[in-house]
Amino acid sequence: MREADKPVDSGGPTAGPGPGGDRPPPGPARPEFWRSPLRGPWLTAVLGLVLLGGVVVMFVTGLLSYAAYDPDLARLNDQTPDKGLLGFYLFDWPTSPYWLYRLTQGVHVTLGIVLVPVLLAKLWSVIPKLFAWPPVRSAGQALERVSLLLLVGGVIFEFVTGILNIQLYYVFPGSFYTLHFYGAWVFAGAFVVHVAFRLGRALRAVRAGPAGEYAASDDSGLVTPAPAPPTVSRRGALGMVGAGSAALLVVTVGQSVGGPLRTTALLAPHGQDPGPGENGFQINKTAAAVGIRDADIGPHWRLTVRGGGRQAVLTYDELLALPRHRAALPIACVEGWSTDDQLWSGVRLTDLAGLVGLRERTPHVLVESVQRGGPFSSVVLAAAQARDDRSLLAVRVNGGVLSRDHGYPARIIVPGAPGVHNTKWVTRLSFGEPA
Ligand SMILES: Nc1nc2c(c(=O)[nH]1)N[C@H]1C(S)=C(S)[C@@H](COP(=O)(O)O)O[C@H]1N2
Ligand SMILES: [Mo]
């Protein structure tokens, strides 16, 4: 009974009351309450180092995802207009390689799911520290505990909001995007502090091995003084965590990799085979789900093209009469799922800009759909996106007419961009807007 044998610093005014002064009250604050022989610096360090690598990749791909939305281009593209310095690194999202967002966001979401068992195991491995007694020993230690609160709270917040979003539970007070964005920065700050303080110790613990020498002289607060008989070794426990991650990988990754793997994406709401035919690939929001009416996309539908002080209004037949080009491009959603390349056919955005005299040096373009409201009903595409030869206002896909749910009569498809920039049910293109 470590705590009982040796006098602990007197905690001053915050020390626990009652007999024994700083003897923790019965329950989880007593080290012998936690009996698993698995806990110790080695297990915590190995899990921590795996998380360190994973979290860095998640943070970078998350920042990339934010950049891919082109938030600086227009207020319309940005749910976090008060980001200030946090947007310091933003850059123009490229159109090549055309699978760029499919890769970065597929990695972000898949890795997030795969890390869940690692995260849970890591939190389990350090849980006795949550009940450390006395709760506050010194100002420095209090500060450390607050940073750990931000670290643990932040990581749980990021995983929970991310997973709810990809499982399509939109239960957030406010926008997921805003919460996940600011949450990531809070977490990242606490994470940097944590790594700075603990990396050296973690590396030493890993070198010492699973049954390392530390047990006798342990000051980590992780090793139980009253171990229960082991049912599995530390390596075995780690193996189970790894197996859990591998299982999650198998039932998730197909939604991003596609091809024959798509049918294995059991955990992915959009991951599975959406049926046969030219339009047989994932749908995000159906026309019905966002309130598209027959009249909106029937014979009275028009495409208005504006820019440079001019305007052209086209019927569907007039749009079909324009020169058509093809591009094989995927849809890659922020939720991590993506389609295989689909063969789109439609009118180049530069040709449409040409209708108002802006074919050369085509500027950025405001794309609006017939959808009334909703965060994805309109978007601003960058000039580089509008100028790419593969950027189309598509009217056909895989040889068939666009289905209602894929954006009939006409939708945007842009290489490299997040799915949300591929606006469906388009009715107006305003080149050079907002000014
Ligand atoms: N008008 C409109 N366009 C939209 C959306 C929307 O909700 N409304 N969703 C976007 C999102 S988030 C994605 S991922 C793609 C999905 O396209 P799909 O349903 O054809 O696969 O459409 C985009 N275009
Ligand atoms: Mo999306």
Q: How many angstroms is it from 333 CA to the middle of ligand 2?
A: 4
Q: How many angstroms is it from 363 CA to the middle of ligand 2?
A: 24
Question: For residues 200 and 369, what is the distance between their CA atoms, to the nearest angstrom?
Answer: 54
Q: Whose CA is nearest to atom 15 of ligand 1?
A: 419
Domains and CATH numbers, the chain: 3-255 (no CATH), 288-431 (3.90.420.10)
Helices and strands (H and E) in the chain: how many: 13, 10
At 69 the pLDDT is: 95
Return the ligand number nearest the Cα of 402.
Answer: 1
Q: What tokens appear for 116 in the block?
A: 């869940």
Q: What pTM does this model have? A: 0.92
Question: Relative to the CA of 412, which ligand 1 atom is closest?
Answer: 24
H helices of 167-226, in order, are 176-208, 214-217
Question: For residues 78 and 178, what is the distance between their CA atoms, to the nearest angstrom?
Answer: 9
Q: Whose CA is nearest to atom 7 of ligand 1?
A: 376
- Ligand 1 touching residue 420 (CB < 6 A): yes
Return the ligand number nearest the Cα of 334.
Answer: 2
Q: How many angstroms is it from 131 CA to the middle of ligand 1?
A: 47
Question: For residues 29 and 31, what is the distance between their CA atoms, to the nearest angstrom?
Answer: 6
- Ligand 1 touching residue 428 (CB < 6 A): no
Q: Whose CA is nearest to atom 4 of ligand 1?
A: 423
Residue 47: name the closest of 310, 261, 235, 295 by CA.
Answer: 235
Residue 219: phi and psi, rounded to 5, are -120, 20
- Ligand 1 touching residue 255 (CB < 6 A): no
Residue 290: name the closest of 197, 407, 134 by CA.
Answer: 407
User: To which residue do tokens 């700075």 refer?
Assistant: 196
At 214 the pLDDT is: 56
Q: Whose CA is nearest to atom 21 of ligand 1?
A: 283
Residue 83: phi and psi, rounded to 5, are -65, -25
pLDDT tens, N- to C-terminus, the chain (435 residues): 343 444 444 333 444 444 445 789 999 999 999 999 999 999 999 999 999 999 999 999 999 999 999 999 999 999 898 999 999 999 999 999 999 999 999 999 999 999 999 999 999 999 999 998 999 999 998 988 999 999 999 999 999 999 999 887 777 777 889 999 999 999 999 999 999 999 999 999 999 998 876 555 677 889 999 999 999 999 999 999 999 999 999 999 999 998 888 888 888 777 556 778 999 999 999 999 999 999 999 999 999 999 999 999 999 999 999 999 999 999 999 999 999 999 999 999 999 999 999 999 999 999 999 999 887 899 999 999 999 999 999 999 999 999 999 999 999 999 999 999 999 999 999 999 998
Q: How many angstroms is it from 422 CA to the middle of ligand 1?
A: 6
Q: Is the dihedral of CA 207, 211, 217, 220 positive or negative?
A: positive
Q: Whose CA is nearest to atom 11 of ligand 1?
A: 420
Q: How many angstroms is it from 25 CA to the middle of ligand 2?
A: 51
- Ligand 1 touching residue 424 (CB < 6 A): yes
Q: Whose CA is nearest to atom 6 of ligand 1?
A: 376
Q: Whose CA is nearest to atom 18 of ligand 1?
A: 283
